[in-house]
Amino acid sequence: MVSKFLNNASVHLLFILIIPSMVLYSQAHGSDLDGLNSRISQCEYVLKQSLEMPDSRIPKDLLQRCRGLAIFPGVFNLGAFVGISFGSGIVLRRDEITGQWSYPVFFSIRQGSLGMQMGAQSIDLIFLMMSEKTIQKLLEEKLTLGLDVSVSAGPVGREAAAETNWSWESGILSYSRSKGLFMGVSISGSILEPDRKSNEIYHGRDISVQDTLYENRGALSDSAKNLINTLDQATKF
């Protein structure tokens, strides 16, 4: 009886937390064109932060080896015995032959969890996709990390990349930033899926995720050009 009461109470409390948080999140991450360009600029800021911390930065040689990159700024984590996280960001593919970065595609991320947890937190997430096979998985309806593709907490710092092993080459290396520090983090169970509304607003109708990632069809705004320039500088040999 007590357990049932706590479960019901936690669900109601989480519901109370989620509704206003989602409203605030949608206001901060607008789905009009200006809001989408702002989201891209936020992604560039998160990327720059990850490159400027000597002892906790993402290793440069891993960036040079990755086949794709996903950035999710300001992902909300909410908990009231039952937890939920949600956020919006972008994915880019890097051509294995030319090294050229694709136009950005908008994706969303969400996850639910159980356990003793309470409160709210905002974190930044970066995923390095280490193989073409992983990128191709993104073309499906949705991708569950840890189920459809392997995911591991990524190493940080100047020398950390030397610790890489063959198993990382086929999956995703994940990083999070909370309170200014980047660290490797496991986000197994999170679901990635295309943000169709945002992609239609930004790139136009009838432009698929595959069109953008593999053929550079769609739009390339100034904010996206700045992000790609930052990536070019970061992955220059």
What residue ranges do the domains of the chain occupy?
2-234
Give pLDDT < 50 ranges for the chain.
1-29, 114-116, 166
Angle between helix 222-234 and 33-51 (nearest 10): 20
Look-up: residue for tokens 């109470």?
9
Distance CA 107, CA 121 (A): 20
> Which pLDDT score, from 0 to 100, does residue 87 have?
93
Q: What pLDDT sits at residue 184?
A: 61
Predicted pLDDT of residue 28: 46
What six digits make up the tokens of 179?
């309170």
Phi, then psi, of 196 in degrees rounded to 5: -65, -40
Name the pTM for this structure. 0.82
Contacts of 32 (CB under 8 A, 6+ apart): 201
Per-residue pLDDT, 224: 98
Query: Which residue has tokens 């891993």?
Result: 62
Tokens of 36: 């989408």
Packing angle, helices 196-203 and 33-51, rounded to 10:
100
Quickly list DSSP for 71-104.
Answer: EEEEEEEEEEEEEEEEEEEEEEEB-TTT-PBPPP
C-alpha angle 21-19-203 in degrees, rounded to nearest 5: 70
Number of Cβ within 10 Å of residue 126's Cβ equals 25
Q: Which of 91, 93, 135 is nearest to 109 (CA)?
A: 91
pLDDT at residue 213, rounded to an integer: 97
Q: For residue range 32-45, what is the model confidence (pLDDT) as tens digits?
A: 999 999 999 999 99
Distance between CA atoms of residues 34 and 115, nearest Å? 38
